[in-house]
Amino acid sequence: MKRMGLLTSGGDCGGLNAVIKGAAKMAGSMGIEMMVIPNGYAGLYNLIEMDSLTSLTPERLMQIDVTLAGSEAGHSRVKIKKIDNPDKYQRIKDGLKKFGIEGLVISGGDDTGSVIVDLAENGIPCIHVPKTMDLDLQSYSVGGDSAINRIAAFVRDLKTTGNSHNRVLVTEVFGRYAGHTAFRGGIAAEADCILLPEIPADFDVVYEHMKREFTARIRSSDVRKGTYSIVVAEGMTDAKGEAIADESAGKDSFGHVKLAGAGKYVRKQLESRMKEDPEIKEFMKDVGMFVPDVYESPEIREVNPGHLVRCGHSSAYDTVFGFEAGAAGVVLLESGTTGVTVVGVESGEISYQPTAEVIKQRHVDLSEIALYEKLGFCFGRKPEEYKPNLQAHKGHIKRHV
Amino acid sequence: MKRMGLLTSGGDCGGLNAVIKGAAKMAGSMGIEMMVIPNGYAGLYNLIEMDSLTSLTPERLMQIDVTLAGSEAGHSRVKIKKIDNPDKYQRIKDGLKKFGIEGLVISGGDDTGSVIVDLAENGIPCIHVPKTMDLDLQSYSVGGDSAINRIAAFVRDLKTTGNSHNRVLVTEVFGRYAGHTAFRGGIAAEADCILLPEIPADFDVVYEHMKREFTARIRSSDVRKGTYSIVVAEGMTDAKGEAIADESAGKDSFGHVKLAGAGKYVRKQLESRMKEDPEIKEFMKDVGMFVPDVYESPEIREVNPGHLVRCGHSSAYDTVFGFEAGAAGVVLLESGTTGVTVVGVESGEISYQPTAEVIKQRHVDLSEIALYEKLGFCFGRKPEEYKPNLQAHKGHIKRHV
Amino acid sequence: MKRMGLLTSGGDCGGLNAVIKGAAKMAGSMGIEMMVIPNGYAGLYNLIEMDSLTSLTPERLMQIDVTLAGSEAGHSRVKIKKIDNPDKYQRIKDGLKKFGIEGLVISGGDDTGSVIVDLAENGIPCIHVPKTMDLDLQSYSVGGDSAINRIAAFVRDLKTTGNSHNRVLVTEVFGRYAGHTAFRGGIAAEADCILLPEIPADFDVVYEHMKREFTARIRSSDVRKGTYSIVVAEGMTDAKGEAIADESAGKDSFGHVKLAGAGKYVRKQLESRMKEDPEIKEFMKDVGMFVPDVYESPEIREVNPGHLVRCGHSSAYDTVFGFEAGAAGVVLLESGTTGVTVVGVESGEISYQPTAEVIKQRHVDLSEIALYEKLGFCFGRKPEEYKPNLQAHKGHIKRHV
Amino acid sequence: MKRMGLLTSGGDCGGLNAVIKGAAKMAGSMGIEMMVIPNGYAGLYNLIEMDSLTSLTPERLMQIDVTLAGSEAGHSRVKIKKIDNPDKYQRIKDGLKKFGIEGLVISGGDDTGSVIVDLAENGIPCIHVPKTMDLDLQSYSVGGDSAINRIAAFVRDLKTTGNSHNRVLVTEVFGRYAGHTAFRGGIAAEADCILLPEIPADFDVVYEHMKREFTARIRSSDVRKGTYSIVVAEGMTDAKGEAIADESAGKDSFGHVKLAGAGKYVRKQLESRMKEDPEIKEFMKDVGMFVPDVYESPEIREVNPGHLVRCGHSSAYDTVFGFEAGAAGVVLLESGTTGVTVVGVESGEISYQPTAEVIKQRHVDLSEIALYEKLGFCFGRKPEEYKPNLQAHKGHIKRHV
């Protein structure tokens, strides 16, 4: 190929600028020109109407800072399937032809990936570089590690507020179908309770755990201080396994119901139990917090950092993985492969899998949850047994770094 | 005095642990024992029922990390005035007597300060160390600089999200009556528009500014990328000068209506204007973003970091000021002064003012706004003229560091 | 004026990009074009040989991120006085004339300022915007607050290393003639000992303080853990009041002897005392650390963050001050004033003072040190008495924010 | 077992407090008491002389913040092999018996691991939890990811200094035998050149790369601005493959020669080439930086963050891995296994390998280097060909998160 196009699509996150730079530099080293298709699939669809495209020359690449999250190529949440135009693939092909673009490197998540499958089926050579901070693809995807680190920092920081006010703090984070980042971010901040889409929440279990831990901390503190922290993925499910949707929130451009209010829901579930529990009043009196009519029950606050968990700087791992995955995408595309996802780059090997397989949802492995339940964390269910298999490992150990 | 008590009250923020440590260490150096009154006024009211108090001995002080925000002494939002007990001041005096506490160092904001006035009038020696991240007291108060730095970091970070998606981002921060932190945090992150309680917002002005800046950025970008960022204080006022209250939010324990939804309100004001503006569609088409029925108008997102702006670590200034103000409070209390606030500590001088005066609300100085309007920032009003007085300064220059 | 030039000079630090942007935007609003003179005085001297200069148009300004430290205009350590060319001022004037530049806004420290005095005397209109992370000018200067915050974060972070290894940690930071940033950064991190150029260090005093605090911490810890942290300004002086110069380090381009090794010097002073002190061995045995021939004395490590304290991001205060000071510089220059420094911008007033006065060295106020000695900090001297004047403050309180 | 002991040894780093807490909580859940052996092997050796040990009860564990780097259990660099006492293992056994400790969970690196092999051979049941920020064991070890993230942040931040002064910046980081963290931290910050122990440095190659990139940046910048950044591992080797040792630095308590001066060495190598290169002067003149006798060659600065790369906070990955590895260590120890290292914890499986095997040095995989050479990074050698094997991956994809 002489010229490739690069686009990023779906939600922004860490590592994408390294994908862009890795892809463009690898292309450059192979004598291929890399063009930016701006604004994700919106730009791809409108290519035919554009006057010019930006080429990622060495000089232009100097302006891209790989340590920053987000994408210099721009995103949009436009999904090709939703466009009501029977000639849309022809329009895209015409646009690519206009600019002499022979193949595409596309970085995105499951929705993005499903379009890649379509594009490849429509004869447009393309390679998928996995990206989603939700980590709900089968392979690792850029953005996940950055999000986990930011969630952990926020949940950790909020403990100073919780400890000052003896408050329970509920932090709601992204995570529609899978709770990977809530899980790992929560563990890394040593949250007390983590509620995931994968485990229907039993609030009686949560309440008992909270009451026991929270009151024990304040009682054992010589300055009567303590907090309890909960991390909840937006896609958490109630006891019936249903997501907590906010009726007023509408749908996004991919047709998904907007989830909202998981944090608020958790707060209300716990507040109502706390207010009805006579032992809470007794506890408040015992530790000297109780003031009649004014302060009869500890406060619960919910915080929703929203896009703060995906912006700012990339984690080191995401930048490194991004460089490698972007570069690998170009090597695969040049080799004639299409419709596949980069799933590994190590020791001189690039491994890939059909995008259609990689975009199948991957959930948190519940056998890992049991380990953390042994360590005292609550996941909104009765703890299950942890019976690990002890296995002697022979020979070389694979590492991610 | 042989024994003093220390309490912190109101919202948590940076610098408080330095206040505690500064006060306790100064007391120790003067042969005075400093006791923690836990949980703010709740603890003060319930002192009489407590079995023991914690003394801030050198060994106990080792456990307090002054670099962390929040208060080791604990807060509550209990306001003495709201307690329906005619003998409440006697109850407090009895509690203090029980533990041999002869005076109080109290750190808090305007509500806290009003109680200090009451306590002093009721014969309880007390000194006020100013604390409020809102900076709406007459003097500087610990917590303000920390909050400004955190707001600035969040607004800055969110630009990677805004630039990736060509989104307008609205960040709502605390600031009920005064917009000091929204103002300075917003400037420090170079937000484009800052909406404060002090200036009724004219959304036609905001919209025109946004449209001009936002579209110019995307048009001038070779990858069709741009954002526009707005910082709004929760207490912002609409064109009629009324705060944006969320009817469902209720009141807090100080009797304040809970403000909520300023960010959402801003978003809706701008979204509706954008959707009705035919030039926006034209712009979207010009830059290749437009996709019929799917993407016809740029997105606006609001983010509400909530308690994230007051938690975590203290800024250096707040820690240093906290040490000095806490220490000064002890010196003043020991000297026999009462009912006053520490308003300055420098060059061997401690200055103070009656708390009743210091807690009068201080608003953002609108003459500073005009300077920033010259620099292109929007404050939701038509820019006013900036005609600074040029003044030769003679002699020593006062500095805050 | 129709066209001004802007240059930054001396060491890099936080807030400078806001100075540039504030100046350029204020100029723009007054119909004046602002040109970048690249690389400080090197660029000024070579202006006559340049083909073109960059104008800070609104579009060009978009590329400058005010939240980043350092200067988009570039620095050099070139000092005009050191240039051996009798026609140098004429050469500069010719360069300015070539590009139609009628006046200069120059941001820098004391060396930079002394050139400003020269330039003004040579008929080149210029205004000084104070910048030095050392804070050793009479007025506040951009960069100081950023440096203090970074020093504080580093010293704080190093405590995890100190506590893990029961080590004494010595952090050496910039500060040639004045210890403002070592002082305030050290206090903000609650360092135990701070050594400044202003106070000749008595290492017997330091050693006794260290021994008492360090051993008490480890003894009182149930896991035998403790550290002691020292912050030392590079320009610290020994008992004779002489700076610790590293003979091998040479001189910089301003002719200053390069200071080096203050941290190492401190380490060696304390190590030798510790090794000769039989009580240290006893202490090691008491707490179970002692292993004959292998571990007989606690370790001391020095860390020299160097340029890390001045790079990265600006603090919020420096960005805000930078905007204002840069803008004020333009207003003053346009008004016909020359050879002066911006010393304050507030409430619609811009105050200034002759640069020749402002660049006189300002040292740490020793009356502030006495307060911290009362709080237990060591400054390498026997603590002096702290007898503050208690002063009722009347009327409006001036604040820096 | 009824009682286990836990010790941490070697250099401090991120994730260790999670190891401690994970081990203690897993032990607690199995009815086993976990005791802290303070100060690493020093404490183990002196156990027999101690009066008491601290038990990691739930209440005591509240004081341990897993988000902080370093170890609450304390380290020392004492190596049992270096102790000249024929009865040392008996002394250790007696100490363990005195406190009823039946087995040990030990976290440390290769030196620590070699002692574990000895201890196990001497009949002391023990399990190794891998820890070393250098990542030079066969398995992943806590601390590596944290160090990589911190190195990346420092190298990134220093670019603002480099760009302001058109300086080359050399950052020296830990890495005695293996350059994993220099490599990945450098890539994540997009350093231009990375020098590792694994690749003897050819400074002619480095110089040519630097000259080309550095001068191109400044030439192409409209404000004549640019930098070039180098990350060097302390154990880098010169053209003969020999480490750069500072003759004055002596040996550490493990008998290793203290490495020092790699950064300084790199600086001098490049400075001397630059000064002799007439094209550099020409370049300086072309871009307007040259001032005769004052500024004839760009500056190079080296920065040595030292312990700053291992202190502060843990990365999320290290905290999560730490919890799991610590917990797994207890499960293995209780199961009767000894002398092995935890090498993986996932999906309900704990895998282990003999410690003697795991502590064999693991170096940076040079086939990964070739990929980055294609992307334009310099590793101090002539770039080698990158010919990756393209491999379709079947079935489940293993991930580290």
- Read off the pLDDT of residues C24-54 as tens digits, 9 standing for 90 and up: 999 999 999 999 999 999 999 999 999 999 9
Q: Residue C119 pLDDT more than 80?
A: yes
Terminal-residue alpha carbon distance, chain B? 32
Q: Residue C214 pLDDT more than 80?
A: yes
Q: Scanning every residue of chain B, which has its alpha carbon at the shortest distance from the alpha carbon of C335?
A: B390
Burial class of residue C252 (count of CB atoms within 10 Å of its CB; 0-12, 13-18, 19+): middle
pLDDT given for residue C207 in this prediction: 98
pLDDT given for residue C279 in this prediction: 98
Count CA within 13 A, CB hemisphere, residue D159. 21
Token output for A142: 């850029």
Token output for B195: 């909406």
Burial class of residue A286 (count of CB atoms within 10 Å of its CB; 0-12, 13-18, 19+): middle
pLDDT given for residue C254 in this prediction: 58
pLDDT given for residue B241 in this prediction: 82
Q: Residue C21 pLDDT more than 80?
A: yes
Residue A223 is given by DSSP the state T
Looking at the DSSP bridge assignments, the partners of residue B233 are B173
pLDDT given for residue B257 in this prediction: 64
Least confident window among A309-318, B163-172, C240-249, D263-272: C240-249
Q: Name which of C138, C149, C389 is nearest B349 (Cβ-Cβ).
A: C389
Token output for C269: 């002073």
pLDDT given for residue B256 in this prediction: 64
Q: Scanning every residue of chain C, which has its alpha carbon at the shortest distance from the alpha carbon of B27?
A: C375
Token output for C32: 């004046």
Residues in CB range of B401: below 8 A, 6 or more apart:
B317, B320, C135, C140, C144, C145, C148, C180, C184
pLDDT given for residue A242 in this prediction: 84
The pLDDT-based confidence of B337 (bands split at 50, 70, 90) is very high
Which has more confidence, B401 or C347? B401
Q: Residue C311 pLDDT more than 70?
A: yes
pLDDT given for residue D249 in this prediction: 57
pLDDT given for residue B253 in this prediction: 56
Which value does ipTM take for this structure?
A: 0.96
Token output for D107: 């976290």
> Touching check for C160 and chain D: CB below 8 Å?
yes
Q: How does DSSP assign C183-219, residue by residue?
A: HHHHHHTT-SEEE-TTS---HHHHHHHHHHHHHHHHH
Q: What is d(CA C352, CA C336) in angstroms, rounded to the nearest whole number?
A: 13
pLDDT given for residue D257 in this prediction: 64
The pLDDT-based confidence of A241 (bands split at 50, 70, 90) is confident
Q: What is d(CA C321, CA C129) in angstroms, rounded to the nearest whole number?
A: 10
pLDDT given for residue D243 in this prediction: 82
Chain A, 29-68: which have a CB under 8 Å from a chain B CB?
36, 38-39, 41-43, 45-47, 49-50, 54, 60, 68
**Per DSSP, which regions of B131-181 are E strands?**
168-173
What's the gap in Å between the CA of D337 and the closest CA on chain A?
10
**Per DSSP, which regions of B14-93 are E strands?**
33-36, 54-55
What's the gap in Å between the CA of C313 and the closest CA on chain B?
9
| pLDDT average, residue stretch C140-165 | 98
Give me the amino acid identity at C233.
Answer: A
> Touching check for B379 and chain C: CB below 8 Å?
no
pLDDT given for residue D240 in this prediction: 85
Cross-chain Cβ contact D54/C294 below 8 Å: no
Per-residue burial over A118-135, b = 16 or more CB atoms within 10 Å of its CB, e = otherwise: bbbeeebbbbbbbbbbbb
- Read off the pLDDT of residues A332-344 as tens digits, 9 standing for 90 and up: 999 999 999 999 9
- Of B39, B44, B31, B26, which Cα lies nearest the Cα of B3? B31
Residue D139 is given by DSSP the state S
Contact D220, D212 (CB under 8 A): no
Query: Per the residue annotation, which of B65, B94, B111, B134 is the catalytic one?
Result: B134
- Read off the pLDDT of residues C222-268 as tens digits, 9 standing for 90 and up: 999 999 999 999 999 888 888 887 655 566 555 666 666 899 999 99
Cross-chain Cβ contact B350/C22 below 8 Å: no
Q: What is d(CA A343, CA D399) in angstroms, rounded to the nearest whole number?
A: 10
Cross-chain Cβ contact A308/B303 below 8 Å: yes
pLDDT given for residue A240 in this prediction: 85
Chain A residues within an 8 Å CB radius of D148: 316-317, 401
Token output for A63: 């302006």
- Read off the pLDDT of residues A162-210 as tens digits, 9 standing for 90 and up: 999 999 999 999 999 999 999 999 999 999 999 999 999 999 999 999 9
Chain A residues within an 8 Å CB radius of B308: 154, 157-158, 303, 305, 308
Q: What is d(CA A130, CA A107) in angstroms, rounded to the nearest whole number?
A: 6
Q: Residue A238 pLDDT more than 90?
A: no
Residue C226 is given by DSSP the state -
Three-state SS for D83? coil
Chain B residues within an 8 Å CB radius of C188: 66-67, 314-317, 319-320
Three-state SS for A371? helix
Per-residue burial over A82-100, b = 16 or more CB atoms within 10 Å of its CB, e = otherwise: ebeeeebbebbbebbeebe
What's the gap in Å between the CA of A289 and the closest CA on chain B?
5
Q: What is the mean pLDDT of chain A?
A: 95
Looking at the DSSP bridge assignments, the partners of residue B304 are A304
Q: Residue B240 pLDDT more than 90?
A: no
Chain C residues within an 8 Å CB radius of D74: 163-166, 223-225
Token output for B117: 């006035």
Q: Name which of B43, B70, B289 is nearest A163 (Cβ-Cβ).
A: B70
> Touching check for C271 and chain D: CB below 8 Å?
no
Chain B residues within an 8 Å CB radius of A313: 157
Q: Residue C322 pLDDT more than 90?
A: yes
Tell me which residue has tokens 């550490």: D252
Q: What is d(CA D101, CA D161) in angstroms, rounded to the nearest whole number?
A: 53
Q: What is d(CA B373, CA B366) in angstroms, rounded to the nearest whole number?
A: 11
pLDDT given for residue A244 in this prediction: 81
Q: Name which of B184, B348, B386 is nearest C320 (Cβ-Cβ).
A: B184
pLDDT given for residue B54 in this prediction: 98
Q: How many CB pairs under 8 A join C and D?
A: 211
Give me the amino acid identity at B299.
Answer: E
Chain centre distance of CA A264: 21
Tell me which residue has tokens 């899980």: A183
- Read off the pLDDT of residues C291-302 as tens digits, 9 standing for 90 and up: 999 999 999 999
Above pLDDT 90, what percent of chain A? 91
The pLDDT-based confidence of C77 (bands split at 50, 70, 90) is confident
Chain centre distance of CA A54: 29
pLDDT given for residue A97 in this prediction: 98
- Of B205, B181, C91, C75, which Cα lies nearest the Cα of D163? C75
- Read off the pLDDT of residues B13-57 as tens digits, 9 standing for 90 and up: 999 999 999 999 999 999 999 999 999 999 999 999 999 999 999
Q: What is d(CA A234, CA C61) in angstroms, rounded to the nearest whole number?
A: 39
Q: Residue C391 pLDDT more than 90?
A: yes
Q: What are the start-end ranges of the H helices in A229-375?
A: 262-276, 278-286, 316-334, 355-358, 366-374
Q: What is d(CA D171, CA D182) in angstroms, rounded to the nearest whole number?
A: 9
B31: left (phi over 0), alpha (psi -120 to 50) or beta: left
Cross-chain Cβ contact D374/A349 below 8 Å: no
Tell me which residue has tokens 């001098």: D268
> Touching check for D206 and chain A: CB below 8 Å?
no
Cross-chain Cβ contact A158/B72 below 8 Å: no
Cross-chain Cβ contact B353/C184 below 8 Å: no
Which has more confidence, A48 or A258? A48
Residues in CB range of B268: below 8 A, 6 or more apart:
none
Query: Per the residue annotation, which of D134, D136, D145, D192 is the catalytic one?
Result: D134
Contact C125, C103 (CB under 8 A): yes
Q: What is the mean pLDDT of chain B?
A: 95
- Read off the pLDDT of residues D201-250 as tens digits, 9 standing for 90 and up: 999 999 999 999 999 999 999 999 999 999 999 999 888 888 886 655 55
Q: What is d(CA B112, CA B79) in angstroms, rounded to the nearest whole number?
A: 7
Q: Residue B250 pLDDT more than 80?
A: no
Ranges of chain D with pLDDT below 70: 245-260
**Residue C134 is among the residues annotated as catalytic for this protein:** yes
What SS3 string covers A3-55?
EEEEEECCCCCCCHHHHHHHHHHHHHHCCCEEEECCCHHHHHHHHHHCCCCEE
| pLDDT average, residue stretch A48-63 | 97
